[in-house]
Structure 1
Amino acid sequence: MRTFKHGAWATLMVTGTILVSTQIVAQEEGSASAIESKIRALAPAAESIAISETPIDGLLQVQVNNEIYYASSDAKYLVIGRIMDLDTRENITDQAKAGLRKDVLEGLDRSQQISFSPSAPDYELLVFTDIDCGYCRKLHEQIDEYMAAGIAINYMAFPRAGIASHSYDKFVSVWCADDQQAAITLAKTGAEPEPQQCENPISKQYELGRELGV
């Protein structure tokens, strides 16, 4: 019968642990690579794909642009839906999406927004707005009150009727106006803005709003 000294046994255990850990990492990397390859085949136009772990063994989170999906670790199944923690009642998927939204919003170009702001705002709100939306118009009627309270309102375009709509055309005209603040204020009263065309971010903002679930 072969015996081991404590030192040799400890070394063997540590070595075994390292080998197992290395194998697990290799398996996870292999799974992520296989999943990404299949997602690329399904969505070749995807700008970004990121694979990460979830609290569920055998299930990985798949971020495609600003959307969250799930895939089995064998890269065989794709799951569309949400994960709920029944003990804590937490929505794991919403938490992941909130993190994505935060990253996206922090990276936005402020010069691509129409802003109404006091000189030194205490708070800032990013608002995806539709010129023809009743609630949006109501908010704009109170724009002076928001600024008096130290709140900046930063508008981005979200014509709910879509890109091929009159609401979209109105927003393009507002964006291309010499005075964007005056133009959007007038348009939100129901008046027709003077038709104008120029390079603009309206379609990109609309698509971003859709991706973020506006």
Structure 2
Amino acid sequence: MTRILSLLFLSGLVLAGVARAAVPEALTDTFTVNGKPVPVKTVNETPLKGLYEVRLTSGETLYSDAEGTYFVAGELYANRDTGLVNLTRQAENAERDKRLAAIPESQRVIFRGTGEPRAVLRVFTDVTCPYCRKLHEEVPTLNRMGIAVEYLAFPRSGLGSAGARQMAQVWCADNRQETLTDAMHGKAPTNPPDCDNPVADQYHLGLKLGVQGTPAIVLPDGRLVPGYVPPRRLAAMLGLDPAG
């Protein structure tokens, strides 16, 4: 709470120095720290007049006045009747959801079950990861609950690892679902990883989106949940009745 109040206080100091006539887009050209230009990805307004969200290409978020003279490095909260709302986290979740939604279905390994899913989980996985294997054993249960699972590749030991090669083999297989399931059961793929596969791109995207290990579960609202989570708890997080 002390940190939160400090951030809110600093935000007030930023507002005191705002040049309200400035154009916020200028931040993309003039934003500098220690005399060096900082690569900016996006600049967005916030609910606080004169304070702008500056998302850097590195993935970090700052809050700045229109001229980049004053800024806060931290998280922005809204103090509402229902409690404190982390606006920074909401924006990060929305960005994560947007980036993942842009990945074509042809570049995912999808387990939907029968019928129209009630919810979709996107999971960064590694076939050599024990807890990824444990989660994969629960996929039929999740499917019966109406929860689809869409896998993305994240070789946890890096792109030069044996896991990365196996993931490439999975994505190059004629039957990805079957090959991935076999690999999760310890049966290494035998087909060559000779196709134009997205494993490296998905690995780098995962790093940018905050993935640090596997499994990394992304909920439909973009929230990132690290590690294995049992089916009934996942259903509760999705607001679903596990019994259907």
Name the TM-score class by shorter chain. 0.7 to 0.9
- Tell me by how many angstroms 1:86 deviates: 5.7
Partner AA of 1:74 in structure 2: E
CA distance in 2, matches of 1:193, 1:64: 39
CA distance in 1, matches of 2:49, 2:209: 28
Q: TM-score, length-normalised on structure 1? A: 0.74
- Give the match for residue 18 of structure 1: none
Structure exhibiting the larger radius of gyration computed from Cα positions: 1
Q: How does 1:1-214 map to 2 (within 5 A)?
A: 24=20, 27-29=21-23, 32-38=24-30, 41-43=37-39, 49-56=41-48, 58-64=50-56, 67-77=60-70, 79-85=72-78, 88-120=83-115, 121-194=117-190, 195-214=192-211
2:31–2:67 Cα contact (<8 Å) kept: no
**Which segments of 5 or more consecutive residues in structure 2 lack a partner in the other structure?**
1-18, 212-244
> Could you say what secondary structure the match of 1:89 adopts?
strand
> Could you say what secondary structure the match of 1:124 adopts?
strand
Partner AA of 2:149 in structure 1: I
CA distance in 2, matches of 1:82, 1:169: 38
CA distance in 1, matches of 2:114, 2:203: 28
**Cα deviation digits, residues 87-123 of structure 1 (max 9, x gap):** 6322121021122223223333111100111232232
**Which segments of 5 or more consecutive residues in structure 1 lack a partner in the other structure?**
1-22
Q: Which has the higher contact order (CA 8 A, sep 6+)?
A: 2
Give the structure with the higher percent helix.
Answer: 1
Aligned length, in residue pairs: 184
Partner AA of 1:197 in structure 2: D
2:43–2:52 Cα contact (<8 Å) kept: yes
Structure 1 residues 174, 39: closer, same or farther in 2, change over 3 A?
farther
- Tell me by how many angstroms 1:85 deviates: 4.1
| Percentage of matched positions with identical amino acids | 36
CA distance in 2, matches of 1:149, 1:39: 49
